[in-house]
Amino acid sequence: MSSNNEINPKQSVALLKALHILTRDGKLNQDSRRKLKQVNHLVNFIAPLFSDVLTQHSNPVLVDHGAGKSYLGFILYDLLMKELAAGEVIGIETRADLVEKSRQLAIECGFSRMRFEHLSVAESINSNTLPGHVDIVTALHACNTATDDAIQFGLAKQAKYMVLVPCCQAEVAEVLREHKVESFGRTPLSEIWRHPIHTREFGSQITNVLRCLQLEAAGYSVTVTELVGWEHSMKNELIIAKRTDQPRKNAAERMQAILSEFNLESLNSRFLNQAQ
């Protein structure tokens, strides 16, 4: 096997091959190299959070929401939970074929404290197959409103930590675009999203700002940083939220003001109701 700096010495090569991150001869192509670098960086952020939860619970529950092919869940289990014989990973995914493939791989790897559920957001919140409380919620490259689904789930389950990497955020940009003419007569700030590329980028930016305020209004402290260097991924914003049970007093008011100022009132229920 050729030397790959992105591979953690503790990582299972067999698992990386099963996930098709490594080729059969143990090599990384450029796309897999970027993917592995992002996932391993995210694991490095999650590791101290997992250790913190372990001081209070001997068997923490981590839920990977919108798990997809479950790269993150498998690598988290491999690096953080396998040796400790502690912790459970639950992957939630709406695509039945991916759920079944992940279940089979977990069996093949002997990852007995890893399971996968074929559930929607609403179902995952109310399902009897999931615990009433979870410790950590993750969402890696959760497209468009999938990050909001993870936040909704985390709030309902009173997660101590949420670790979110949003991706492909189009909904807010669509609302900005829909009301663009009206906004021109309403506020000079509409110049911020007048040009199409600015509409897209500003829509993505304001989405994450609203998410952070939503989390703060619900009693979480929030840190926003880069996941990896921008040369590896343009979808690179990492939001880490820690439950403090001390809501930021003006967060909901600020959300309402932003939604009103930017003519986004149609999204009130998406952000405001979940924060209350």
Give CA–CA dist 266/172, Å, rounded: 10
* Span 128-137, average pLDDT: 96
The answer to whether residues 204 and 96 belong to one domain is no
Asked if the model's pLDDT at residue 107 lies above 50, the reply is yes
The answer as to whether 256 is a domain residue is yes
Among 100-104, 106-110, 167-171, 217-221, the range scoring the smallest mean pLDDT is 167-171
| Per-residue pLDDT, 229 | 60
The answer to whether residues 106 and 68 belong to one domain is yes
- For residues 274 and 199, the model is more confident at 199
188 is in which domain, residue-wise?
A: 169-219+244-276
User: The CATH number of the domain where 73 resides is what?
Assistant: 3.40.50.150
The answer to whether residues 76 and 184 belong to one domain is no
The answer as to whether 224 is a domain residue is no
The answer as to whether 83 is a domain residue is yes
Q: Pairing mode, if any, of strands 114-118 and 136-143?
A: unpaired
The answer to whether residues 44 and 135 belong to one domain is yes
| Per-residue pLDDT, 121 | 82
The answer as to whether 12 is a domain residue is no
The answer as to whether 72 is a domain residue is yes
| Per-residue pLDDT, 262 | 93
The answer as to whether 229 is a domain residue is no
| Per-residue pLDDT, 146 | 85
- Tens of pLDDT, residue by residue over 164-213, are 998 878 889 999 999 999 999 889 999 999 999 999 999 999 999 999 99
Report the mean per-residue pLDDT for the chain.
90
199 touches 180 (CB < 8 A): yes
Q: Pairing mode, if any, of strands 161-167 and 237-243?
A: antiparallel
Of 107, 135, 167, the residue that ends a domain is 167
Asked if the model's pLDDT at residue 221 lies above 80, the reply is yes
User: What one-letter code names the amino acid at 82?
Assistant: K
The answer to whether residues 123 and 176 belong to one domain is no
| Per-residue pLDDT, 26 | 82
Of 136, 167, 198, the residue that ends a domain is 167
Of 127, 144, 167, the residue that ends a domain is 167
The answer as to whether 39 is a domain residue is yes
The answer to whether residues 184 and 124 belong to one domain is no
- Tens of pLDDT, residue by residue over 222-258, are 999 988 765 444 568 999 999 999 999 899 999 999 9
Positions of E strands within 144-259: 161-167, 220-226, 237-243
Chain-centroid distance of CA 107 in Å reads 25
| Per-residue pLDDT, 2 | 42
Q: How many domains does the chain have?
A: 2
The answer to whether residues 129 and 185 belong to one domain is no
Distances 19 to 25, 64, 104, 233, 235 between C-alpha atoms, Å: 14, 16, 12, 20, 21
Q: Is 130 helix (H, G, I), strand (E, B) or coil?
A: coil
227's tokens? 């996941």
Give the model's confidence band at 157: pLDDT under 50 very low, under 70 low, under 90 confident, else very high: very high
The answer as to whether 184 is a domain residue is yes
The answer to whether residues 102 and 200 belong to one domain is no
The answer to whether residues 35 and 162 belong to one domain is yes
Q: Is 181 helix (H, G, I), strand (E, B) or coil?
A: helix
The answer to whether residues 60 and 141 belong to one domain is yes
The answer to whether residues 58 and 156 belong to one domain is yes
Q: Is 147 helix (H, G, I), strand (E, B) or coil?
A: helix
| Per-residue pLDDT, 5 | 67
39 touches 140 (CB < 8 A): yes
The answer to whether residues 81 and 201 belong to one domain is no
